[in-house]
Amino acid sequence: MLNFTLKQLRYVEATGRLGSIARAATDLNISQSSITAAIDALEMQIGYDLFIRTPAKGVRITPEGGETLQSIRRFIDQSNHFATEIQHETAEGDTLGSVRIACYATAAPSFLPPILKSFTKSHPYLKINLLEGNMQTLLTFLDEGEADMAFTYGQYIISGRHDFKSLFDAPPYALLPADDPLAAEASVSLADLSTRPMIMLDLPYTKDYFTGLFYQKGLEPNLVHSSRSAEIIRALVAGGYGFSILNICPPDYQKDDTLFRVVPIRDALTVPNFGIATLSGVRQPRMVKAFMEKCLELQNNGIFDDLVISS
């Protein structure tokens, strides 16, 4: 039977996260010997090394250690939520709590505000911690216990490691300069777009998806510019430098038609699904479950319909 304390696990987690016993000791304001003793005690009990220690170079996590550290982070995360839920009650009886949300950066400004506005009305004392990132970093936030949930596309989650609740399909659409003849069309084809200069949203997984739309049709996109910022993409399109393809459409994109136009793509073969990813096998705290239920309620009320462009 394993015998360890939460404090020891925090020492081990800090060492793995910071890559050094010395840095972990500084971060936690304790002695290096206390960190070393915690690591030694846990390694002795589990029967394998968590770290490879190199003098003057810090530590390297072993393959087995990497998996164990993920479990430790999830355990610490659950203990933090437990402490929050049993400790905080306001004088009026309203439960205090926190939800840590990771969201795909290009979707966050359009997607999150109506959710946060609705949920904080019923939970005014809720603390929200937001993390933004690309599809790759969102899953890292989940796996390392930094986020309770991630709003992302379902095609990128890892089966068996993550659970996924669908919120809406997000068909790709073309963002075209207002003076492009295609901007006046009710919809466009990928063949139409392949003849024009393309401005690529160049994020992990995103580029492969957008270029893949053309490859599936035997076409080659004409990539001329790229950016990691959706706002820069918008500015380049408005300046007439080319078109771009996106999925989630901010409401103001459809209102400002003097510089660019939003046009559905009628023949895209792959339509991603946007929703909530969580770690499999993890029982979520009460406040996190309530937040997810609110998202599903808003889905049923059609709150996300304006973010979707359908042909």
Distances (CA, A) of 196 to 134, 142, 193, 257: 27, 38, 5, 20
Q: How many structural domains compose the chain?
A: 3
What does the pLDDT look like over 218-235, one tens digit per residue? 999 999 999 999 999 999
Residue 61 reports pLDDT greater than 70: yes
DSSP H helical segments within the chain, as ranges? Answer: 6-18, 21-28, 32-46, 63-87, 108-122, 135-143, 190-194, 206-215, 230-238, 251-255, 286-300
pTM of this prediction? 0.71
Whether 165 and 179 share a structural domain: no
Whether 188 and 259 share a structural domain: yes
Query: What's the CATH number where 280 sits?
Result: 3.40.190.10
Q: Going by C-beta distance under 8 Å and a sequence separation of 6 or more, which residues neighbour residue 238?
A: 177, 178, 259, 260
Quick one: DSSP state of residue 116? H
Do the domain assignments include residue 196? yes
Q: Give Cα 65 to chain centroid, integer Å.
A: 25
Residue 216 reports pLDDT greater than 80: yes
Whether 279 and 161 share a structural domain: yes
Residue 57 reports pLDDT greater than 50: yes
pLDDT at 218: 96
pLDDT at 81: 67
Do the domain assignments include residue 77? no
**90, two tokens:** 């306001």
What does the pLDDT look like over 268-283, one tens digit per residue? 999 999 999 998 888 7
C-beta of residue 174 within 8 angstroms of C-beta of residue 193? yes
Whether 27 and 163 share a structural domain: no
Q: Which domain holds residue 214?
A: 173-264
Residue 109 reports pLDDT greater than 50: yes
How far is Cα 274 from Cα 117, in angstroms, rounded to an integer?
Answer: 20
Mean confidence (pLDDT) of the chain:
87
Write down the residue that tokens 């437990």 correspond to. 82
Do the domain assignments include residue 80? no
pLDDT at 291: 92
pLDDT at 300: 94
| Of the ranges 32-46, 116-130, 199-213, 277-291, the best mean pLDDT one | 199-213
What does the pLDDT look like over 177-196, one tens digit per residue? 999 999 999 999 999 999 99
What does the pLDDT look like over 78-93, one tens digit per residue? 777 666 655 554 434 4
How far is Cα 84 from Cα 296, in angstroms, rounded to an integer?
Answer: 24
Residue 108 reports pLDDT greater than 70: yes
Which of 72, 103, 118 is the endpoint of a domain?
A: 72
Query: What's the CATH number where 12 sits?
Result: 1.10.10.10
Q: Kindly indicate the confidence band of residue 2, based on its pLDDT and cuts at 50, 70 and 90.
A: low
Angle, helix 63-87 to helix 286-300, in steps of 10 degrees? 90
Do the domain assignments include residue 78? no
How far is Cα 103 from Cα 137, in angstroms, rounded to an integer?
Answer: 10
Do the domain assignments include residue 16? yes
Whether 40 and 154 share a structural domain: no
